[in-house]
Structure 1
């Protein structure tokens, strides 16, 4: 991993320009040899130790803070219905950024104080199967806090590109959306009674997503894919087929 080198800046540079230059220097830092992946996980991670070491080289006076629940004095916030959230705060160069992260298991499902089950469609068995999310432990919470810190540092530019595309739908969510769409389409087909005239003379419809599909083939990295997703977020979220194409392209880029 290349070590951070402070950019050479002119003396008459403004504070805003200096901060922008520092952001670019951190953003362009190559961290590829320090990225890690959990078992059966396609997302990449940077260890907190490596991230903090590089950040302190850039900002020797940087400080971080783990936000504690004022009611419990514990380093997490819990909602029995939706799960556990942790927060961190980083201050450097007179700037403070806050970050948050839910406690999740290996399948990126929210963990709670109590174990719970959920259903997901098994494409091999052609039926819904039940899965269990174990109760969160302090180990899970501690691990999430440090991962949250790394994500907090990315707000200053360090390893920010690692998170590009992380908010695209995952395979499990995508499959559930596809199955729901299929069920809805089946119900509509059973209740619909189109007239013979309409069925006979209906004009062929054009594919209004043809432009998006074509643009996907030109996305060769996570950044360009994420930009395309943001440009057409409404269309993607409302069409399971397009969601599937984005997820497929994301996996192709990660595997390249």
Structure 2
């Protein structure tokens, strides 16, 4: 059973002081008996998270955003599918975006596609298939997103201090292939899907046709600079939560985040 002490709020406390006391109480709540381990990852179920949230804030509410184009609770782009939720308590609303992911934390799309991952044992790249997302996958992501939105209020936020939701030993995705034959290098989704096949054809053209000035620009340079500039794990967690889609879709950014986390924990 969750071990926590609801703080006594002084009558003359300001709104910020009240919220700070509540945040500290929620952050300090011991959820060890409410969490569970799955494949070495720590999970807090949405039902437990919401039950505890209502114990702290009886008037708390949540929202599941729907796509205005089709009314569905999922948003799609070339990078994949994402869900969007928010949780409001004491006049403060925290929103969360989360990719729809498979069992290996790989971004899912509305169509199946393949990725090339590095097989450490055989020291070669192998092809793996990512299935098309189902309504079950979308619903599961919605509940996980809601737990993350709750965590921004303090409850269970410490679970993310170790980045248990990041698979540090995961295999980097090199390129994706949709079922229509197009290939796209895993660059975080900043280029159109059709751009990569054209680049492949360019390899057979004369040398003077090769230069592509924009190819040398790292679209994630600003995010990498932010990661390197973080001075504590808490700031790194917030940065991850705000940029989950790009980080999960870009192996070098994900590895940089993990390396920075370890360096900060060692201080």
Coarse TM-score class (shorter-chain normalised): 0.5 to 0.7
Which of 57, 68, 71 matches 2:69? Answer: 71
| 1:29-108 paired onto structure 2 within 5 Å | 29-38=29-38, 40=39, 42-79=40-77, 81-108=78-105
Q: Distance in 1 between matches of 2:35 and 2:55?
A: 19
Provide structure 2 residue ranges, at least 5 long, that are not aligned to the other structure.
175-230, 238-251
Give the alignment's TM-score, normalised by structure 1: 0.67
Q: Deviations over 1:107-147 (max 9, x none)?
A: 11001111111111111112111111111000000011011
Contact kept in structure 1, 2:2 and 2:34, CA below 8 Å: no
Q: Deviations over 1:189-218 (max 9, x none)?
A: xxxxxxxxxxxxxxxxxxxxxxxxxxxxxx
Q: Deviations over 1:9-62 (max 9, x none)?
A: 221111100100000000000001221233x3x321100111000000111111
Q: Which has the higher helix share?
A: 1
Residue 197 of structure 1 is matched in structure 2 by none
Query: Which has more radius of gyration?
Result: 1
What SS is found at the alignment partner of 2:170?
helix
Give the alignment's TM-score, normalised by structure 2: 0.64
What SS is found at the alignment partner of 1:135?
coil
| 1:1-256 paired onto structure 2 within 5 Å | 1-38=1-38, 40=39, 42-79=40-77, 81-166=78-163, 170-172=168-170, 226=233
Change (3 A) 1:85 1:157: same
Note the aligned Cα RMSD (angstroms): 3.1
Contact kept in structure 2, 1:174 and 1:243, CA below 8 Å: no
Q: Distance in 2 between matches of 1:6 and 1:156?
A: 14
- Per the TM alignment, residue 96 of structure 1 is displaced from its structure 2 partner at its CA by 1.1
Provide structure 1 residue ranges, at least 5 long, that are not aligned to the other structure.
177-223, 231-236
Change (3 A) 1:149 1:168: closer
Change (3 A) 1:125 1:98: same
- Per the TM alignment, residue 97 of structure 1 is displaced from its structure 2 partner at its CA by 1.2
